[in-house]
Amino acid sequence: MQIEFDLSNPSLTLLHRAGLAGLWMTLNQLKTEKVTPPFGLDWQLTDRQVTLNWENNDCKVLEWLLKESFQIDNGMISLRGLDSKTMRQDSQAIVHQGILGTFLQHNSTHKSAGTQTISLPLEENKPEIVVTYKALQSYAYQDFASNLCDNKGVFLLKKPISIAGWLNPGAVVRHVAFSSDTSFEEPAEQALILLFAPIACYYYILRSKLRDKRAQYALVIPEVTNLKEYAKYRQNQHLRNASYKDFHASGLGDAGLRFLTDKSTTEIANTFKVPRCQVLTLGTVAWSTQQKTRTDLYVVEANAEVCHNYRVCDDFLGDRTIEGKNGGFVSSNFARELIAENLAKSKSWYDGISENVNSNELFQKLAYERGGLYQVIQRIESNEREKLFIQACHQAIKFTYGKISDQADKRREFSNFDRENIRIRTGLSRCKNAESFREFITHFWSKAGRIPTLQNHWEDLMELVMDEKEWKKARDLALLALASYKGKGVTDSDKDGENGIDEDDFLIPEID
C-alpha cells in the first residue's frame, strides 16, 4: 500500500493542509526518536509531500500510527508531533484545553478520568494561576483506525466515509432528522490527514469584553505552504516555552494577529511560509443545539503595516496579570480588542469605536487604557490628518477643562471634569448623521476657544467635518481623543477591580 499526500491537491482545505503538516511533524518526530514501525511501514517527507508505504495489515498499521501519535500524559492530551512530553507545562495545558474546547467539545469524543489541578506561573513576582482541567482516559483520535478500513481491515482507498464534527469542526449534519442524507463525507485518505490537524493548529483562550460572552477558545488554522518550514515554526522553542499568559487573546482578530506576529512579519511570512491563517470559534447555537457549530470565523493576513500597527498596539495595550481571591488571572485589554478586530479585517484601526463603545460602562473600560491609547496614537501608522484631528480634540478638551477649573476656583468648588466627559460622550452618541455631528463638533471647538492645531490645519480638518462620507470617521476620532486624553484633571487608576475588571470574567473555562 502506498498513499501520497501533496499540498498542491486542490481538494485540500486549510484544515487538510494543517493536518498534512501535523502528519509530517509526527512522522519526523518518530524518525528523530528512532521508533521502529511495524509491517514494513516507512515514509518519505519533502517540503510539500508525505508518502506512506506499508505491506499488509492496513488496519493494524493505522492503529499503530494513531496509538503512537495521540497519547495521554498525566491526564492531558499528548501529541507526538509536538513532542508534548518535553514541552513547558503551560503549553501542554493550553493544547489540552484548546483541543477539548474546539475539536473535542462533545462529551462523546472523549472519556473523562475526573479533574486535576495545576498551578502555573504568569509573571515573575506575580501570583500563580490555578488551572483545573478535565483529565482523560481516552479520546476519539486514538481509536479511529477501524473507521478508515472495511470489515476485512483493508484501507478504504478513495472511498468516502461519514465525518463527525470533531474531525472537521463546523462541517456538520444539515438536518438531524435526515442525517444519513445530509452528513458530511470525506475520502478516507483525507479523513486520515484531518486526524493530525490539531497538531499543527494553535489555540487561545478568549477574553472578549466586546461580545460580553464567557470565555471561549479560538482555533487558529494556519495556511501551510511549506511542510518543513512550518514544522520549524510550530516546534520552535519560543512557542514551546511560552507562558500561560501568552495564550490569551481578546478576540478572533487578536488571536490571529498574535499568532502571525509572534515573530516579525518577514520571518513568519517568508521564512516560515505562513502568509495567513483562519481563526474560528465553535459553540451551540439556538437553532442547532444537538451539535457544535462555527459561531465566528475570520481569515487574517498580516502585511507589513498591519503587523507594525498590531505590535505597537500589543506593546502599549498588553494584558494585565491581576491578583484575585483564588490566585492570579489574566485581564485582557479592551482597547486592543477593538483595534485588533479592525486590523484583522483590513479596516482603519479605530473604525466603529463610537458604535461599539455605546455605553458609559464600555467607555470607562476604554478610558482606563488612556495612557496606552495615547502612546498608540503617537506611534501607529495612520493618516496624518487623523492624528491632527485627535490633537485638535485633545487641545479642545484641555482648554475646556481649564475653563471649568477657573470657574470652580472662583466659586471655591471642586472641578467636575467627569461631568464634562459624560456630556461630550453622550453628545457624540447622539450624532446620527453628518449634520448633527457638524453641529456638535463646531460647538465643542468654539466653546473651547482658540485651538492652535485647528487654526493651522483648518482646511484639512474641516474636510473631515464637512464631507458627508467622513463624519463617522471624525466621530470615532473624537471619541478616541476623549478616551485617550492625558492632561490636567485626568488620573490613571491601577487599582484592580475598577473600571470593569472583574475576576469572575477571567476564570479558566471548564469543558463540560
pLDDT in tens, 430-469: 999 999 999 999 999 999 999 999 999 999 999 889 988 8
Task: Spell out where 199-246 has E strands.
Answer: 202-206, 216-222
pLDDT for 140: 95
Q: For the chain, give the mean pLDDT.
A: 86
Between CA 1 and CA 199 the distance in angstroms is 25
- Asked which of 68-72, 468-472, 495-499 is least confident by mean pLDDT, the reply is 495-499
Average pLDDT over residues 102-117: 91
Instruction: Note the pLDDT of residue 332.
Output: 83
pLDDT confidence tier of residue 380, bands split at 50, 70 and 90: very high
pLDDT for the residue 436:
95
Q: What is the mean pLDDT of residues 281-297?
A: 62
Q: What band does 272 get if pLDDT is binned at 50, 70 and 90?
A: low
Q: Read off the pTM.
A: 0.86
Q: What percent of the chain has pLDDT over 70?
A: 86
User: Mean per-residue pLDDT for 417-421?
Assistant: 89
Structure confidence at residue 276 as a pLDDT band (50, 70, 90): confident
Domain ranges within the chain, ordered by starting residue? 384-484
Q: How far apart are CA 344 and CA 300, in angstroms?
A: 5
Ranges of beta strands (E only) in 302-434 are 320-324, 327-331
Q: Residue 422 corresponds to which cell in the numbers above? A: 459624560
Select the highest-mean-pLDDT range: 20-34, 96-110, 144-158, 356-370: 20-34
pLDDT score at 120: 86
User: Of residues 493 and 74, which shows the higher confidence score?
Assistant: 74
- Strand boundaries in 223-346, DSSP class E: 248-249, 276-285, 288-301, 320-324, 327-331
Confidence grade of residue 260 (pLDDT, cut at 50, 70, 90): confident
Provide φ and ψ at 87, rounded to 5°: -75, 160
How would residue 105 be classed by pLDDT, with cut points 50, 70 and 90? Answer: confident
Share of the chain above pLDDT 90, in %: 57
Residue 283's pLDDT band (cuts 50, 70, 90): low
User: Does the pLDDT of residue 306 top 80, yes or no?
Assistant: yes
User: b or e along 206-222 (b: 16 or more beta carbons within 10 Å of the residue's beta carbon)?
Assistant: bbbbeeeeebbbbbbbb
Which pLDDT does position 207 carry in this prediction?
84
At 7 the pLDDT is 94
Instruction: Tell whether the model's pLDDT for residue 384 goes beyond 90.
Output: yes
Which stretch, 210-219, 270-279, 314-323, 420-429, has highest mean pLDDT? 420-429
Q: What is the mean pLDDT of residues 214-231?
A: 88
pLDDT at 204 over 90: yes
Q: What is the pLDDT of residue 236?
A: 83
**Does 244 score more than 80 pLDDT?**
yes
pLDDT score of 510: 46
More confident: 104 or 268: 104
Q: Which three cell numbers stand for residue 318?
A: 498588553
Q: What does the alpha-carbon distance between residue 193 and residue 204 come to, in Å, rounded to a whole number?
A: 23
- Residue 27: predicted pLDDT: 97
pLDDT at 322 (0 to 100): 77
The pLDDT, as a whole number, for residue 253 is 92
